[in-house]
Structure 1
């Protein structure tokens, strides 16, 4: 029984291999009094997620951007935190993929899944924090991480999604120093 359970868990981890979210380009700067972020991510979905998408289940991804003074204590809340939420869906009758920015309410439609995944990972000019909130000469730590939001799946899928690794997709934390 124990061997069977280990084989089953090994099989589940193999099913999730290959799925990833990686950062291809990250740029941060100041624009119109705001600290803004440009980001290019590359998405590779698991077979489980692809099957759900092709059957009309929307997939929601959250990109969390945090700015904090480099010497901030662990218990202190972040100086600046922004969560960008985007949803990828497929409309089988139209044969189109859609990327919806849940914060801005904008949507874009694509003929192919690859084009939709490229658009999903392309964030331009995302306002993070007013530049006046940062002191000149002080160092800040910026971190970014993207993950799929299992809590946004349809209710009947959530228990299974929490238990099976094919539903868990997250980038590594990308972190660097910023000095305004």
Structure 2
């Protein structure tokens, strides 16, 4: 069992609780023709360089429902310069798994808040990425590798498979936020660009049947 959602065009995404997955092509054409509202897509977000959750994969491994996903366009030059100057960078992933119930409120099965923190050791010239979901941090000299580890959710165990009901619909919701770090006022005067460190992706909402 593998569900892959690589494009925002595959389902509706918004900040509420319920995605719209069953809109007909005719209705979409009607809105496009008469209202000319722009349809949000991954390609448009890439052009605008806005942070987005992408490449969502839901699979089964080791008796668990597991999640793979990545955040795109989540780094700026100011952020990376701050890391090299000793300011840690933390991404928080908010993840919820619900069981969908018709004509009733959904049942929340689990909620995860996963932090990834990037720091730099100038003496060793090494980047370290600490993961809330792992016991040990990863160390690398490659900035590109460190950025990839920061941005990726790689096989996070969401929920035991034996607690899911076969044939039932479920909803996965995920977003990423840059955690605001608190610094002394004197440090803000030295590094004023920390005020630019701010992003929060939209919720990505995926419905699937187990």
* 1:94 shift after superposition: 1.7
C-alpha distance in 2 between matches for 1:98 and 1:21? 22
From 67, 74, 82, the counterpart of 2:112? 82
C-alpha distance in 2 between matches for 1:20 and 1:92? 30
* Cα gap change, 1:43 to 1:114, in 2 (>3 Å): farther
1:102 aligns with 2:132: yes
Residue pair 2:71, 2:176 contacting (<8 A) in 1 also: no
Residue pair 1:43, 1:117 contacting (<8 A) in 2 also: no
1:22 aligns with 2:38: no
1:113 aligns with 2:143: yes
1:143 aligns with 2:173: yes
Unaligned runs of 5+ in 1: 1-17
The aligned residue for residue 8 of structure 1 is none
Q: How many correspondences in the alignment?
A: 155
1:156 aligns with 2:184: yes
* 1:32 shift after superposition: 2.5
C-alpha distance in 1 between matches for 2:50 and 2:85? 21
1:177 aligns with 2:207: yes
C-alpha distance in 2 between matches for 1:64 and 1:99? 18
Residue pair 1:47, 1:166 contacting (<8 A) in 2 also: no
Aligned partner of residue 87 in structure 2, secondary structure: coil
Unaligned runs of 5+ in 2: 1-47, 189-193
* 1:44 shift after superposition: 3.3
C-alpha distance in 1 between matches for 2:142 and 2:73? 14
Q: Which moved more, 1:81-90 or 1:39-48?
A: 39-48
* 1:146 shift after superposition: 0.9
Q: Which moved more, 1:26-35 or 1:47-56?
A: 47-56
The aligned residue for residue 65 of structure 1 is 95
TM-score by length of 1: 0.73
More strand per residue: 1
| CA RMSD in angstroms, aligned pairs only | 2.6
C-alpha distance in 2 between matches for 1:19 and 1:58? 23
* 1:128 shift after superposition: 0.7
Name the structure, 1 or 2, with higher relative contact order (CA <8 Å, separation 6+).
1
* 1:99 shift after superposition: 1.1
